[in-house]
Structure 1
Amino acid sequence: MSISLCMIVKNEEAALPKCLNSVKDFVDEMVVLDTGSSDRTPEVAQQFGAKVHHFQWCNNFSTARNTALKYVTGDWILVLDADETLSPSIVPQMQSVIQSDEYILINLIRQEVGAAQSPYSLVSRLFRNHPEIRFERPYHALVDDSVATLLKKEPHWQVGYLQGVAILHTGYQKGAIAQNNKYAKAQAAMLEFLSTHPNDPYVCSKLGALYVETGNISQGVELLQRGLNQVSGSQNHLNKTRLRGLENQQTIQSEENYEILYELHYHLGIAHNHFKKPQQALAHYQAAIKLPIYPMLKLGAYNNLGNLLKDAGDLNSAKKAYETALKIDPNFATGHYNLGMTLKALGLFTDAIACYQKAIRLNPYYAEAYQNLGVVQLKVGNLQASLTAFKNAILLHEQQNPEEAKRLRQGLYEMGLLK
């Protein structure tokens, strides 16, 4: 079975080489659709052997992606963006699964590198080159709707997913968002879709989350709640149908609804926390973690639930939430840090030290972990280890948060720990 990389790009000459390097030895073909670059993006793609085509941007990601699909010749299609790379460890699984006869679509786990929220997502980026599979929705373009329709007509196909992180995505880091004006582009595309699909749960979830992220929290809550009402109503109707012993075409969609339902609850939790309504936030996080979705996708909800419980003084419950998150992903640096903070509050200083050290091993640039490691080392009398940790924290804060570096240095000076 042959596999084609399919991409749409614009002004990505800096990011594109890393992306294409990650797949060049795996794919049989690279198809790159340029949507109006003013830099050397097309030339960079051609240097890697990509077939470059051109398209006039029309503020609709699905239209562009469907145009790119027309040029693909492989049996399978892998979709990446320029700010994504393929994880080498996932390649053997991919090579195996595309030889299978039963799958039409394989969902992949994407890690949001450096994102403040939702460290993992499930994306429908590996699928057969089938004439009825196409992208829909203007932003966060998906093939899921067309695949669901196809499964009704050709029920012998299956949808699967690969275990382990397949795609590393850096596009949600603050610098990348600001540089590429991502929020504005996303909002324009989704508002256009919302005007003709006012109750679509998916766009309510994505646009509502964007509003919360950008500080328009009341607008965000209204959209998220609207989406939640739609999904809950659809799910209740489906449950009644099943109780009557009937199976209908909604069954396929119901499984997808769980992921949308999770995002709606998760972002409503964030919004209510902004509004200083911890009980409402708690209820939404608890609803989110109960949903039958892939455990790695729940990491953000467990972490935020732990934060709420810790702030409320329920340290043992917070500890349990963080420990659950770390069972899901032992490499979750933020989880180790938060567990360390909880253990410190419980007076379990030796355990807290171990957690901070794990967080630092996973993220050597974790200034807050160094700073709190310094605090706990000081509490247990390890003065030299404390000073070393504080000095590392100051060095990192000087790069990331100069005011905090100044405050920390002044505090240590007043304590007589720095001269």
Structure 2
Amino acid sequence: MMGDKMRTISLCIIVKDEERFLERCLNSVAKHINEVILVDTGSTDRTLEIAENYNAKISHYEWINDFAAARNNSIKQATSDYILVLDADEYLDEDTDLQTVLITEKDHYTIRIKNYLSSGGAIFHPAVRLFKNHRGLQYQGRIHEHLNVEDKSLGLSHEFADVLIHHDGYKDEVVQEKEKHKRNIAILLEEVEKNPSGYNLYNLGTQYRANHQDEEAITYYKRAFELSKDRLYIQSLLYNMIDSIRRLGRHDEASNVVNAAIESFPNHTDFHFLKGRIFEELDFNNDAVQAYEHCIRLGEVELFQTLEGVGSFLAYVRLGAIAVEKGQYVLAFEMALKALESNKYHMPALRLYLEMMKKTNIPLKTMEEHLRNIFSVANVTDLKHLIVVLTVIKSPLLQQYIDLYKLKLDPSVSMIARLYNRQYAEAVEIATKMDDIKESETNDLFLLAYISNSEDLAGAARKPLNFSIKEWKQLKSFLQSKPEDLGNISEPVANIIVFIAEQLLNLQEEDLFNQCISTIQQGPATLTIKFCHMLIENRYSNIAMDLLLAEYDKNKQNIEWLELLGDACTQENQDKDALSVYNRALQLKPEYRIYEKVYEIYIKLNEHKEAGLIKNEIAKLFPFVEWAKA
């Protein structure tokens, strides 16, 4: 044993035009390493200048579309006891202690890499990035290169290490910038032709999947599966293949494959989470709840590739979303709180938390106190997250935080803050000076135009939208309260109208909201349905019921109309009436989600015999439903 002797470490890195990331990467390892071996494949930006500031040993290498060759060129120059391999868009976690890890003197160490996604989530995957020099380890594979650690002749020792690497390179904007998909697919197609190994086929499938070419991805995953059943990446292969099948809407096939995967890997949380997603998309909410609750019991996956949060905050948020759909807002609030306890920076959890406080009429003062408990705003990250979410949910608290911290924000955020704080004149003043209006800002501008009766603002909001002349005429008719021109309204226009109505409710603009109702009532049934969905979601089922009953005779053959009326009756605790309406809907079409609602009403009424009959009918009609077979 080397005792307390420090092990020397070489950082080996290959680069091309990495000025955006390189300094962060080199800063993260500065106190851990003894030398930087940097192999440049043709940089034309400030990459080499940054590397020189860290005394890197720079060499130039002609790129030959072979990552393994470039990696091997870098590691052969290393002179230290151990080699650490990073990419420029990666960085070492600040809590890492490499010397403590290396006390065991293993030949190679598997460490965790956290890949950040544009969605705000992250995927963990294990990889060998820390290994002993001069032990015959070499990279293989022109792309998705990997070390020959499975070469039995080398007699290598190994362990999992408590090391975390952060990686930004999977974010959409970075991938698009580097055209990684196009480059990687071309290389991998050549690799597969030369060597159709399970690993090469898996990597090609994953590259197609990342480029949203799911059909092609599934083809290569299926070929890879037969060659990969004993490989460490098999769970990742199965997960990606099932998720691609799900994304194509082939839910029956996805259900069959995910059940087979769970049978083989019963404790791999990701499969149960994916099963929950499939159930949700089928409207099998009871089964989805069971799947997500099982995820929480299993917890997070430690040593294999995994989606961060499947055993904690992601599962809680999905449970919260289902609770919202069922009108169980207190439960949704509890789920959001549990998600935030796991990860306070998870945007969907914070959004759900704040939205449930708003929908349950918790006073602003209380909301502010809750937020202070979660976010002490001790750092910029806390404040940034709060501002983003408060902007998204249109909270009047946004203006309070802007005033408190004297923030200078984008005009669109300032406009939203004023608008939802009912400072309409100030919001109009800001809006009229906005030049580059984005599509994401148009709904708020249309709302402000409606409140201020401003044709100019409405015209400005129209510019980023690809509206037809007919659609623009329909929207103008609504904005001017001329329902006779609404006609057969398009979905984008209907969405804007319902958005305006919902925000008028939140802003407590009663007169303008009643004006909305008057206009919507004279529009088409599709608009009324969207409007009533919104009303029920916001617990204004009494208004929805009045609107739906007023036009019942005209729409009693419309299953969506009937289901909404049943939902309104349920929210008003008129359970017998709800049963009558739901059963009428089921006579028209046996939709699963309506059966589930009928079952839950019978349980609520303690009519267990009738509930049992419905449960048996569900099991007979919907073979993929699991809870009804128990």
TM-score normalised by structure 2 residue count: 0.55
- In structure 2, the CA distance between the partners of 1:184 and 1:64, relative to structure 1 (3 Å rule), is same
- Among residues 148, 151, 166, which one is paired with 2:150 in the alignment? 148
- Among residues 13, 21, 24, which one is paired with 2:19 in the alignment? 13
Report the secondary structure of 2:14's partner residue: strand
Q: Which runs of 5+ in 1 are unaligned?
A: 233-253
- Which fold has the larger relative contact order, with Cα–Cα distance below 8 Å and residues 6 or more apart in sequence? 1
Correspondence list, 1:379-418, <5 A: 379-382=359-362, 384=364, 393=389, 395-396=391-392, 402=440, 406=444, 410-417=500-507
Matched, 1:350 2:330: yes
Report the secondary structure of 1:355's partner residue: helix
Matched, 1:71 2:82: no
- In structure 2, the CA distance between the partners of 1:47 and 1:392, relative to structure 1 (3 Å rule), is closer
Q: Write out per-residue CA displacement over residues 271-311 of structure 1, whole angstroms, 9 at most, x where no aligned residue.
A: 11022222332343444456669x8xx55444323222333
Matched, 1:139 2:143: yes
Report the secondary structure of 1:58's partner residue: coil
- In structure 2, the CA distance between the partners of 1:69 and 1:153, relative to structure 1 (3 Å rule), is same
- Among residues 60, 68, 80, which one is paired with 1:62 in the alignment? 68
Contact 1:118 1:299 in 2 (8 A): no
> Which residue of 2 is the match for residue 104 of structure 1?
107
- In structure 2, the CA distance between the partners of 1:206 and 1:115, relative to structure 1 (3 Å rule), is farther
Contact 1:333 1:363 in 2 (8 A): no
Matched, 1:42 2:48: yes
- In structure 2, the CA distance between the partners of 1:96 and 1:387, relative to structure 1 (3 Å rule), is closer
Cα RMSD, aligned residues only: 3.2
The amino acid of 2:440's aligned partner reads: P
User: CA–CA distance in 1 between the matches of 2:115 and 2:168?
Assistant: 6
Contact 1:104 1:158 in 2 (8 A): yes
> Which residue of 1 is the match for residue 117 of structure 2?
114
1:27 Cα deviation after fit: 0.9
Contact 1:113 1:172 in 2 (8 A): yes
Contact 1:80 1:125 in 2 (8 A): yes
> Which residue of 2 is the match for residue 216 of structure 1?
213
1:380 Cα deviation after fit: 2.8
Contact 1:306 1:322 in 2 (8 A): no
Matched, 1:334 2:314: yes
- In structure 2, the CA distance between the partners of 1:31 and 1:336, relative to structure 1 (3 Å rule), is farther
- In structure 2, the CA distance between the partners of 1:370 and 1:131, relative to structure 1 (3 Å rule), is closer
- Among residues 224, 237, 242, which one is paired with 1:264 in the alignment? 237
Contact 1:309 1:317 in 2 (8 A): no
> Which residue of 2 is the match for residue 230 of structure 1?
227
> Which residue of 2 is the match for residue 168 of structure 1?
166
- In structure 2, the CA distance between the partners of 1:415 and 1:226, relative to structure 1 (3 Å rule), is same
Q: Specify the structure having the higher radius of gyration (Cα).
A: 2
> Which residue of 1 is the match for residue 129 of structure 2?
125
- In structure 2, the CA distance between the partners of 1:194 and 1:230, relative to structure 1 (3 Å rule), is same
- In structure 2, the CA distance between the partners of 1:360 and 1:216, relative to structure 1 (3 Å rule), is same
Matched, 1:201 2:174: no
User: CA–CA distance in 2 between the matches of 1:347 and 1:159?
Assistant: 52
Matched, 1:323 2:296: yes
Contact 1:378 1:386 in 2 (8 A): no
Q: Percent identical across equivalent pairs?
A: 24
The amino acid of 1:132's aligned partner reads: G
Matched, 1:310 2:306: no
User: CA–CA distance in 2 between the matches of 1:96 and 1:391?
Assistant: 40
User: CA–CA distance in 1 between the matches of 2:508 and 2:134?
Assistant: 66
The amino acid of 1:160's aligned partner reads: E
- Among residues 175, 185, 188, which one is paired with 1:187 in the alignment? 185
User: CA–CA distance in 2 between the matches of 1:386 and 1:411?
Assistant: 26
Report the secondary structure of 2:361's partner residue: coil
User: CA–CA distance in 2 between the matches of 1:90 and 1:134?
Assistant: 25
> Which residue of 2 is the match for residue 158 of structure 1?
157
User: CA–CA distance in 2 between the matches of 1:131 and 1:213?
Assistant: 35
Matched, 1:376 2:356: yes
The amino acid of 1:109's aligned partner reads: R
User: CA–CA distance in 1 between the matches of 2:70 and 2:245?
Assistant: 36
Report the more deviating stretch, 45-54 or 270-279: 270-279
Q: Write out per-residue CA displacement over residues 142-199 of structure 1, whole angstroms, 9 at most, x where no aligned residue.
A: 10xx2211xx2243x3221124x6101111011111112111221122112111012x
User: CA–CA distance in 1 between the matches of 2:387 and 2:167?
Assistant: 31
Contact 1:285 1:301 in 2 (8 A): yes
User: CA–CA distance in 1 between the matches of 2:299 and 2:326?
Assistant: 19
- In structure 2, the CA distance between the partners of 1:63 and 1:391, relative to structure 1 (3 Å rule), is closer
Matched, 1:26 2:23: no
Contact 2:277 2:288 in 1 (8 A): no
Contact 1:375 1:386 in 2 (8 A): no
User: CA–CA distance in 2 between the matches of 1:188 and 1:418?
Assistant: 57
Report the secondary structure of 2:237's partner residue: helix
The amino acid of 1:202's aligned partner reads: Y
The amino acid of 1:142's aligned partner reads: H
- In structure 2, the CA distance between the partners of 1:334 and 1:180, relative to structure 1 (3 Å rule), is farther
1:261 Cα deviation after fit: 1.3
1:74 Cα deviation after fit: 0.8
- In structure 2, the CA distance between the partners of 1:320 and 1:336, relative to structure 1 (3 Å rule), is closer
> Which residue of 2 is the match for residue 249 of structure 1?
none
Report the secondary structure of 1:81's partner residue: coil
User: CA–CA distance in 1 between the matches of 2:62 and 2:71?
Assistant: 12
Report the more deviating stretch, 315-324 or 399-408: 399-408
The amino acid of 1:161's aligned partner reads: F
Contact 1:387 1:417 in 2 (8 A): no
